[in-house]
Amino acid sequence: MRALQLREWKSEPELVEVPDPTPGPGQVVVRIGGAGACHSDLHLMDEFEPGSMPWNPPFTLGHENAGWVHALGAGVTGLSVGQPVAVFGAWGCGTCARCRVGIDPYCENPSAAPVPSGGGGLGLDGGMAEFELVPDARHVVPLPEGLDPVQAAPLTDAGLTPYHAIRRSWPKLPPGSTAVVIGVGGLGHVGVQILKATTAARVIAVDTRAEALQLAEECGAERTVTSGPTAAEEIRDATGGRGADVVLDFVGTDTTLALGVAAARTVGDLTIVGIGGGTVGVSFFSVPYEVSIATTYWGSRPELVEVLDLGARGLVRPKTTTFALGDALDAYRQLRDGTLEGRAVIVP
């Protein structure tokens, strides 16, 4: 089969021919119907030196995947060939306290996982291929009625990641509250939809690009703010001087984090989702009282089931542009240039 592989660090991925996978005991092979192209894949191509990650190329890219069950390994029950499924992308050890509640991204025994702190498309072969080998059937989640694999694929990361970040702050988002979404890209635009679908908060979206702000409005944002020196003031003005109850930073640079602190309300949450690598100083006087600042990474398996339900009911619909597997490099080029609207989904 054909597969888009990262062959070595600091290189462009290549479309190569690899053997079709066969499932061992307890494993599942999924025929891919959609594989999302994620901004973090660009970090994989650009940034890492050999030895800086607990795993190395070559491996097939694509960590947000959905398709149909193609083959079941010995002992797998509860799934049938041809059934539409999503793949939960973080593959932990399966038995530590974090994995037991389904939050494999926070696995506490990564050396016992199929690959330490990774998954399909992150150290092991992912979904930018005709088939993906999933090493444990627990990662294969049946799609609810009304959701096809192209729509479902981005929900496994571009949906699940903002969902996890928002869900933890639900108690701070009653009617009358304000949530700010910084960065309306692949994750941020879905974040706006999730806020609208699951909370009564007013949503303010921030981005540098006019098209992104328009997308945020289409997704239900009540107000948009162009990123810049006056952005924090505009958010304070829009909230009667109080600031935002929850700020979700999908960029994560020095600039956006500084904006997050300047726009946050006392007792608010500032959640850093974007892996821009920026820092922000925290001292008694530098942040509003009782503001909690946290990073989040991906989400849990039960939360994926919830996101898929939102997707199937039409409450959350990532904006997608589809590309053939042979055009996957174009998708990444557009992602890099910032010209892609919504999420690129590769359809092999």
* Interacting residue ranges for Zn ion, rule: CB under 5 A: 38, 40, 92-93, 96, 99, 107, 109, 157
Least distance to Zn ion, CB of residue 96, Å: 3
In this complex, which beta carbon is closest to Zn ion, that of residue 97 or of residue 267? Answer: 97
Least distance to Zn ion, CB of residue 55, Å: 16
Distance, CA of 340 to CA of 50 (rounded, Å):
30
Distance, CA of 13 to CA of 36 (rounded, Å):
15
CB 341 within 8 A of CB 319: yes
In this complex, which beta carbon is closest to Zn ion, that of residue 109 or of residue 226? Answer: 109
Least distance to Zn ion, CB of residue 107, Å: 3
Least distance to Zn ion, CB of residue 117, Å: 10
Least distance to Zn ion, CB of residue 275, Å: 9
Please report, for residues 5, 66, 78, 202, the alpha-carbon distance to residue 15 in angstroms, rounded to integers and kept in the order given.
6, 20, 34, 44
Compute the residue count for the chain.
348
CB 114 within 8 A of CB 123: no
Q: Which two tokens stand for residue 69?
A: 């069950």
Q: Which two tokens stand for residue 253?
A: 């640079």
In this complex, which beta carbon is closest to Zn ion, that of residue 93 or of residue 212? Answer: 93
What 3-state DSSP class applies to 308? helix
In this complex, which beta carbon is closest to Zn ion, that of residue 158 or of residue 215? Answer: 158
Distance, CA of 285 to CA of 222 (rounded, Å):
31
In this complex, which beta carbon is closest to Zn ion, that of residue 40 or of residue 334? Answer: 40
